[in-house]
Structure 1
Amino acid sequence: MPRNAPRRTAAQVALAARRTGRDVFSPRRLILALKTAVAAAVAWYLAPWVPYADAEYSYYAPLGVLVSMYPTVADSARAGLQALIGLACGIAVGFGGLAIVGAGAPGIVALAVVVAVGVTLGGIRALGIGRDWIALAGLFVLLLGGRDADGFSSSYLLTMAFGVVIGVIANYLLVPPLYLQSARDRLSELRAAVTTALDRAADSVAAGELSPTTLREDGAALAEMSTAVADDVDEASRSERANVRARGLGGVRDENSQRWWGLERTTYLARDLLDVLAQQNELDERHGDLAAFAEALRRVADLVATPPGDSDIKGRTDAAWQAVEAYGRTLPVPRDATDTHDRPGLWIVGALGRIIDISRRVYDALGE
C-alpha cells in the first residue's frame, strides 16, 4: 500500500458500517426484496406454460424478473426492455458463431469471435443494461444451443421476456414505490447541512481564526450530499411514472422541484464561499469588519434554514439583506478604477446576495 494512502479511522469504519446497514435494511430495500421474491416464484411456477417455449428452460423466467426489478416502475420497464433487446442482439451474435463452426472453423475461434463482437456491441450506450447481455447471450447460444439452437434461442428469449413482464407487473401492483416524501426529507437534510456550514464559517470569522481544513471538509461534505440528493430527487420523479399512488401528489412534486432548483444553486454558492475562505491566509482589511461579516453569514444561514411555508420568511429575507448591505459598507474603497483584483470581500457580498435572491425566488414560487 502506498505510504500516502489515507487511513480510515475506527469512527469512519463504524460510520460506513452503519450506512451500509441502513441501506441494506431500509424499508424500501426490504419491500423491493419481498416483491422480487414473490415475482420470481410466480414466474418460475408459470414458466412451463409460456407458449412456444420449452419448459426445460423455465429457470430463465426468474432471471427475467431479476433484471427487471428496479426501485421504480418506469426503471423496471426500461431495464426489462433493454435487457431483451440485448438478448436478441446476443442471440444473433451466437448464431453467427454457430455459422462459423458450421463453416469448419475450430470452436475456439467461434467463441473468440462471439465474445469480441458481443463486447464491441456492448459499447452501444443506448442499450443501457442490455449491453451486458449481448456477449453473455451469444455465449449461451453458442455453447448451450447444441443441435437445437433455434429451440433454445426462442425459449431463452420468450421465457426471459415472460419473467420481465411478471417483474414489471409485480412492481406496478405490489406497493408501487413512490419516493416523493423521501425526496422532500432529503432536501430538508441538505438545507440543514448548508445552514450548518454557513454557521460554522460565521463562528470562525467572528473568532478571526479560519481553519482551511475544516472549511474544505465542509465544502466536500456539501458536494457529496448534493450529489446524493440530486439522485434521490431524480429517482422520486421517476417513481411517479405509471404509479397509481402518485395521483393527487402533484403539489409535492412541484415543491420538490422548486426546492431542488434553489438548493442546488445555494449549495454551489456556499461551497464556493467556503473555498474562497479556505484560500485566505488570514482575515485582514480586505474582508471588512469581521463582526459584520459574521452577522451577514448568520442571517443568510437563518434564511436558508427557513422551511417552506414559514410565516417569518419576509422578516428573515429583510434581515439577511440588511446584514449583507451593512457588511458591504465596511469593505475598503478601491484606490483607483483599476483596483479590481484581490478583493474577496466584494465576492463574498455578491455570493451572499445571490443566495438571498435565490431563496426569495423559491419562497415566492412556493407561495403562489
Structure 2
Amino acid sequence: MHLLHRAWWADALSADRLLLAAKTAAAAALAWYLAPLVPFAQNEYSYYAPLGVLVSMYPTIARSAFTGLQTLIGLAAGIGLGLGAQALVGIGMPRIVAVAAVVGIGVLLAGLRSLGSGRDWVAIAGLFVLLLGGADPDGYSSSYLITVAFGVLVGVVVNLIVIPPLHLRRAEERLVQLRESLGEALRTMGDAVEARAFDPEPARAAAAGLADALADVREEVALADESRRYNPRGRRSSLPRDAHRRRLEALAVAAESTRELTAAVAELTDADDVDRRLPLEVRHSLATAIHALAGLVSDRAGTDTGVLRLHDADAALDDYVERVQRVSASTASDRVLTLDRWDAGVALRRAIDACRPLADAAATSAPESG
C-alpha cells in the first residue's frame, strides 16, 4: 500500500530546499560583502555575518525571524558570560578553570527552554569571547554580536523579498496522498470482506502505517500554516487559513476509525463460523459500506462528486445497520456477536461523519501554488 514513501534524497533535492539553499548562499555572500560597512563593528570580524545568515534562514519567514532573535539573545547571554570569565582571568583565575566554568554554566543555561534556538549558542559565544577576545574582549564582543545581528537581518530580508516561501502546495499534495492511502486501505478491506478472505495482520499493519503517515503529514500542514505568517504571498491566497488543518483532523479521525473498523472486522471474521457471525447479506452490505467509505475518503476535496459519495456512504451504512438489526433480532441471545457487528457500524459512522466536511466543495477550494 502506498503510504507516502519517498526516496531518501527527495527532501534534500526538493524545489523548496533548492530554493532555500540558493537564497541562503546569496544572502551569506551579500552579508559578508556588506559587513565591513556595518557601524560599531570591526572589519576583521566580517566572517560572522554569513553565520548570522545561516542561523536565520529557515523554510518560513516567521521561523527565520523568531529563530534569529532567539539566537541573538543566546549570543548576548554567552557574551556576557564570556566577559565575566575574562574579567575573572584578569584578576588571577586560571584560564583552564574559566573555560570549564563558561562551558558548565553555558550548558546549564541551555536548559532554559525560553531561550529556544539561542540556548545552543550560550556556551559557544562564551568560549569565543574568552578564547578569541584577546586583548580587546569588549571590541570583539560588540563586533561579534553586531555582525551576527547584521547577518540575521540580511537573512530575514532576503527570505522575505526573494520568493517568500509558501508551502501550501506541498501540504495539499501530502493530504491528497494520505487520502489515497486511506482509501486504498479501505478498498483492500472491503474486497477481503466481500471475498470472505479477510486477513487481520496486513490490515493492522496498514492501519499502523497510516498512523506514521499522519505524523508526517501533520508536519507538512504545520509548516504550511507557519509559512503564511508575515508572508505577503500568504495574504493573497484564497485558501482559508485553517483549511489544511481541518482536512487533516478529519482524516485523522477517519484513520483512527479505520483502525477500529479493522479490529471489529477481525473479531467478526477471525473464526471458523464466519457465516454465522456475518451472514451473507450482512457481509455484502458491510463490504459495500466499506467501499463507499473508501470512495468518500479518496475523493479530492472540492470536487463535485463529494456530495454524491457522501450520500452513497450514508445510504450504504443505513443498509448495513438495517440488516444488522434484522439479524440481531433473530439471534438476540448472542450479544457478543451483536456488539461486534455494531462496533463495525459505529466505526463506519465516525469515519463518514469525519469526512462530511471534506465533501463541502465551498469550504475546501483548491489552494494556489506555493
Q: TM-score, length-normalised on structure 2?
A: 0.87
Alignment of 1:1-368 (within 5 A): 19-251=7-239, 253-277=241-265, 282=270, 284=274, 285-287=276-278, 289-331=282-324, 333=328, 339=335, 343-364=339-360, 366-367=362-363
Q: What letter is aligned with 1:154?
A: S
User: Aligned in 2, Cα 1:107/1:75: closer, same or farther, shift over 3 Å?
Assistant: same
Distance, in Å, in 1 between the alignment partners of 2:356 and 2:61 is: 35
Deviates most, 175-184 or 90-99: 90-99
Q: What letter is aligned with 1:78?
A: F
Matched pairs, number: 353
- Map Cα deviations across residues 210-233 of structure 1 (whole Å, 9 max, x no partner): 333311221122112111111111
User: Aligned in 2, Cα 1:167/1:280: closer, same or farther, shift over 3 Å?
Assistant: farther
- Contact kept, 8 Å, 1:62 with 1:163, in 2: the verdict is yes
User: Aligned in 2, Cα 1:278/1:35: closer, same or farther, shift over 3 Å?
Assistant: farther
User: How many Å apart are 1:191 and its aligned residue?
Assistant: 0.9
Distance, in Å, in 1 between the alignment partners of 2:158 and 2:352 is: 46
Distance, in Å, in 1 between the alignment partners of 2:152 and 2:347 is: 50
Deviates most, 130-139 or 265-274: 265-274
Listed as ranges, the gaps of 5+ residues in structure 1 are 1-14
- Contact kept, 8 Å, 1:255 with 1:366, in 2: the verdict is no
Distance, in Å, in 2 between the alignment partners of 1:118 and 1:276 is: 54
Distance, in Å, in 2 between the alignment partners of 1:258 and 1:300 is: 19
Q: For residue 11 of structure 1, what is the aligned residue in structure 2? A: none
- Map Cα deviations across residues 175-197 of structure 1 (whole Å, 9 max, x no partner): 11111122122211111111011
Matched position secondary structure for 1:333: helix
Identity of aligned residues (%): 44
Q: What letter is aligned with 2:163?
A: V
Q: What letter is aligned with 2:356?
A: R
Q: For residue 368 of structure 2, what is the aligned residue in structure 1? A: none
- Contact kept, 8 Å, 2:53 with 2:154, in 1: the verdict is yes
User: Aligned in 2, Cα 1:154/1:317: closer, same or farther, shift over 3 Å?
Assistant: same
* CA-based RMSD: 2.5
Greater relative contact order structure (CA < 8 Å, 6+ sep)? 2
Distance, in Å, in 2 between the alignment partners of 1:155 and 1:287 is: 77
Distance, in Å, in 1 between the alignment partners of 2:339 and 2:278 is: 8
Matched position secondary structure for 2:7: helix
